[in-house]
Amino acid sequence: MKKSLYIVALFVLLAVQPSLAQQYKYEVGPTLGITGYLGEANNSNLFKHPSVTGGGIFRYNHNSRWAFKANLNYANIKGNSKDLETVYPDQGEYSVSASLIDLGMTAEFNFLNFGRGPMYKKYKPISPYMVAGVGFVFAINKGHNQASFTVPIGIGVKYKYKDRLNAGFEFTMRKEFSDRIDGYSDLFGIKHSFAKNTDWYSFAMFTVTYEFGKRCIKCNYIE
């Protein structure tokens, strides 16, 4: 009887252990959220005229602390200077309604050991993180096309709902360097360098990702 119980227990351990120890290198999934804009047509309230944005991400999990992500998003930005207290020299009103194609490459640092695994490694199913990187945006505004490099920076939180299914929320600001994604520049007639560029846009995004690409496991060492 005892021998039979030992055999059953052994089979249970063999069946359960791989699912507990198994980890994956990659994630892919959709994103959905809202876009904010700051620039010549809106310099006070980031989400005065929010717009819907969506896209997808691909993430490479280097380890439980570091990950590298590529994103592709389609978004809109809106604004109108008549909402502002600012009075431009010509007393004109300026509005923007532009479409953006946003591409980014970012690095993520998890503040906790994110994931599932052996107890002694103190993995956590939830972790806040910070993100930064480089990107590129292509804007279409009333027939005016503008391309520019960007620097995305922000914070987020990720939650491992199941072994291969994750959910998350991320807020990023994107600094762009052309000062023309809204179609306007130097409305006060003061020339300035890119460092004083007034155009920013933001993403507040929800994500759902599915993991794939098993890591090789040898003698309890994960490569």
Residue among 50, 11, 25 nearest 217 (CA): 25
Instruction: Write down all domains in the chain, each with its CATH number in brackets.
Output: 29-222 (2.40.160.20)
Handedness of CA 15, 17, 18, 23 (dihedral sign): positive
Q: Which residues contact 143 (CB under 8 A, 6 or more apart)?
A: none
Q: What is the pLDDT of residue 92?
A: 62
Beta-strand (E) ranges in the chain? 24-38, 51-61, 66-80, 95-110, 126-141, 144-162, 165-176, 200-214, 217-218, 221-222
Q: What is the pTM of this model?
A: 0.80
Alpha helices in the chain (DSSP H): 2-21
In the block, which residue shows the tokens 């998003």?
A: 73
DSSP per position, 115-149: S---GGGT-BSEEEEEEEEEEEEEEEETTEEEEEE
Q: What is the pLDDT of residue 3?
A: 53
Q: What is the pLDDT of residue 53?
A: 95
SS3 18: helix
Q: Could you tell me how many residues make up the chain?
A: 223
Q: What is the pLDDT of residue 12?
A: 43
Handedness of CA 95, 89, 147, 171 (dihedral sign): negative
Q: What is the mean pLDDT of each run of 10 residues along the chain (223 residues)?
A: 49 43 87 90 81 96 96 90 64 77 97 85 93 95 86 97 94 88 65 65 96 75 49
